[in-house]
Amino acid sequence: MASLTAGPGRDAYSQVLAVPVPRIRIEPPRGWLELRLHEVWQYRELLYFFVWRDIKVRYKQTVIGVLWVVLQPLMTMGVFTIFFGRLAKLPSEGLPYPVFYFAALVPWAYFATALANCTNIVVANQHVITKVYFPRLVLPLAAVCSGLLDFVIGLVVMITLALVFGIHVTATVTLLPFFLILALLTALGVGLWTSALNALYRDVASIIPFIIQFWMLASPVAYPSSLVPARWRWLYGLNPMAGVIDGFRWALTGHGQPPGAQMVASTAMVVVVLVGGLFFFQRIESTVADRV
């Protein structure tokens, strides 16, 4: 055994590596206010591997793979163009119907998949959770990140589509990342709640498809938010996806609602849901391994 004298908080290994020895204290969970976000940063490589695993497995399993990512929103766009556009003649803020719908369907598809994955991810990984320690927050984060690749593919198709219809990308596109982050945080915020609830009540996952359908109708995907009277716009904005979808369309095409009161309401809602979700999730986290 090494004969180096050990000082306080250091031992033989750390003397050699000049790295402080981690000191962990294990205790019963205490109340609601335990957030260990710095730990998540320490485990960022694991987050990368979870995302990588999800993407690899998804693409290995489907023959159509990449195509499906694009086919789904394209087909929905087709149906919307015929029924909501040509037949029902809903307004589209000056954009050709396909562009109007697709610009909303790309972020929506990302959000819907991210939320669904997030809800299931804790239960789906129960065999790992019960065998190894890592901050459980890594899982919902991985769930919302693994859809980003599909999102980028959809974005490329979107821009191509816009060019085909003669819509040019304007300077507003530089704000696109902000709206993407907002979409991610919304999915994460809601996902933290549903994920924790799903670990407690297993039927939550089966309610999610219905919630997503309903939510899509409540968001400006198939219609512009200008349909909503101005004085109710802030209430409508409490749906964070309203801000996201509108913002997306506006950033990508320059048409539509520039961010305003609605956007403020949306962002505020996201923050509330996210912070609440973080605490709720961490609270349930300490007992998840006992429940699965």
Partner 1 sequence: MSTAVIRAEGLGKQYRRGMAETRGTLRDALTNFARAPLAALRRPKQEVFWALKDVSLEVREGEVLGLIGRNGAGKTTLLKILSRITRPTTGWAEIRGRVRSLLEVGTGFHGELSGRENTYLSGSILGMSKREIDRKFDEIVAFAEIDKFIDTPVKHYSSGMYVRLAFAVAAHLEPEILLVDEVLAVGDIAFQKKCLGKMGDVAREGRTIILVSHNMAAINSLCSRCVILNVGGVEFDGPTDKAAARYYAESLSISSGSDLSARRREGSGKARFTSISIQPLDPVGRPLDVAFPGCNLSIDTEIECKSDFAPANLAIIICDSNGYRVVDTNTAQKGQFVSMRTGQVARANFQLREVLLKPGKYIVGLWLGREAMEIIDYVEHATNFDVMESEETSLHVIVFPGVYLCRFDNSVTIQ
Distance of alpha carbon 193 from alpha carbon 50, whole angstroms:
20
Query: What is the Cα–Cα distance from 180 to 27, expressed in whole angstroms?
Result: 38
Q: Which of 16, 37, 53, 218 binds partner 1 (CB under 8 A)?
A: 53
The answer to whether the beta carbons of residues 170 and 250 sit under 8 Å apart is: no
68 is a site residue for partner 1 (CB under 8 A): no
Number of residues that bind partner 1 (CB under 8 A): 46
The answer to the question of residue 159 lying near partner 1 (CB under 8 A) is no
Could you tell me how far CA 286 lies from the centroid of its own chain? 23
- CA-wise closest residue to 286 among 122, 160, 63: 122
Per CB under 8 A, does 134 bind partner 1? yes
**Binding of partner 1 by 61 (CB under 8 A):** yes
- Which residue in the block uniquely carries the two structure tokens 């849901």? 273
Q: Taking contact as CB under 8 A, which single stretch among the options 57-65, 67-75, 112-120, 251-259 is the one that binds partner 1?
A: 57-65
**In this structure, how many other beta carbons lie within 10 angstroms of the beta carbon of residue 240?**
28
Q: Which of 49, 68, 83, 214 binds partner 1 (CB under 8 A)?
A: 49
Which amino acid, residue 196?
Answer: A
Interface with partner 1 in residues 260-289 (CB under 8 A): 286-287, 289
Question: Which residues in the 72-131 window bind partner 1 by CB under 8 A?
Answer: 127-131
Give ∠ CA 107-234-245 in degrees, rounded to 5: 10
Would you state the structure tokens that stand for residue 223, as one six-digit string?
């219609």
By the rule CB under 8 A, 17 interacts with partner 1: no
Are 251 and 179 a contacting pair, CB within 8 Å? Answer: yes
Answer for which of 133, 210, 229, 231 binds partner 1 (CB under 8 A) is 133
Q: According to CB under 8 A, which residues from 228 to 247 bind partner 1?
A: none
Binding segment (CB under 8 A) for partner 1, from list 23-31, 67-75, 219-227, 265-273: 23-31
Q: What is the widest separation between alpha-carbon atoms in the chain?
A: 84
Told to check if 33 binds partner 1 by CB under 8 A, we report: no
Where does this chain bind partner 1 (CB under 8 A)?
A: 1-2, 6, 11-13, 21-29, 45-46, 49, 52-53, 56-57, 60-61, 127-134, 197, 199-204, 207, 286-287, 289-292
